[in-house]
């Protein structure tokens, strides 16, 4: 049987990994790329609101506002997840190229929602502010 201390370390490690994912600037940019790929042709105006906002979240992260960026990414990912969940696809459309891209997009939204939520919820603003002041 596994040692309870090792199980606790594994759980902590999973939470820390998800928090680091939320503080990373790449996931919102990747999600913006996938959303654009799905909705550019034929052009769908409502889902196309998300790519510029997600790229702005990446910009915030690169400027040193990791906690705010994580919260923005989590909120946008959750909103897109709800929007994507409303669409219905036939069985044959789920296994094509568009269906696979949609599945990857929804999975990435879910991971961003969890990781960004953890980074926003457990982020330390005082630590982030001191890091931003040092870089000036």
Question: Could you tell me the residue ranges of all domains in the chain?
Answer: 24-130
More confident call, 135 vs 68? 68
74 contacts 117 by C-beta, under 8 angstroms? yes
| Angstrom distance (rounded) from CA 14 to CA 3 | 17
Q: What is the pLDDT of residue 11?
A: 67
Q: What is the mean pLDDT of the chain?
A: 89
| First-to-last C-alpha distance (Å) of the chain | 52
Q: Which ranges of 26-65 does DSSP label H, i.e. alpha helix?
A: 26-39, 50-62
Q: What is the pLDDT of residues 87-125, one digit of tens each?
A: 776 666 677 888 889 999 999 999 999 999 999 999 888
- How many C-beta atoms lie closer than 10 Å to residue 61's C-beta? 24
Q: Which ranges of 40-96 does DSSP label H, i.e. alpha helix?
A: 50-62, 66-86
Write down the pTM of the prediction. Answer: 0.84
Only one residue has tokens 């309870």, namely 4
| Angstrom distance (rounded) from CA 49 to CA 35 | 10
74 contacts 61 by C-beta, under 8 angstroms? no
Which DSSP letter does residue 110 get? H
104 contacts 61 by C-beta, under 8 angstroms? no
Which burial class, exposed, middle or buried, applies to 9 when counting CB atoms under 10 A from its CB (0-12, 13-18, 19+)?
exposed
- Res. 75: pLDDT tops 70: yes
């Amino acid at each position: 049987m596994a040692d309870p201390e090792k199980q606790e370390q594994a759980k902590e490690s999973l939470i820390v990994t998800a928090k680091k994912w939320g503080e990373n600037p790449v996931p919102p940019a990747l999600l913006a790329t996938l959303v654009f790929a799905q909705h550019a042709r034929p052009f769908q105006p409502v889902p196309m609101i998300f790519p510029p906002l997600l790229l702005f979240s990446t910009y915030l992260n690169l400027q040193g506002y990791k906690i705010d960026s994580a919260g923005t990414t989590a909120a946008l990912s959750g909103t897109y997840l709800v929007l994507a969940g409303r669409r219905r696809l036939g069985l044959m459309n789920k296994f094509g190229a568009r269906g696979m891209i949609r599945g990857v997009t929804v999975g990435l939204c879910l991971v961003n929602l969890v990781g960004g939520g953890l980074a926003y919820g457990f982020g330390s603003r005082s630590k982030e502010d001191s890091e931003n002041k040092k870089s000036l």
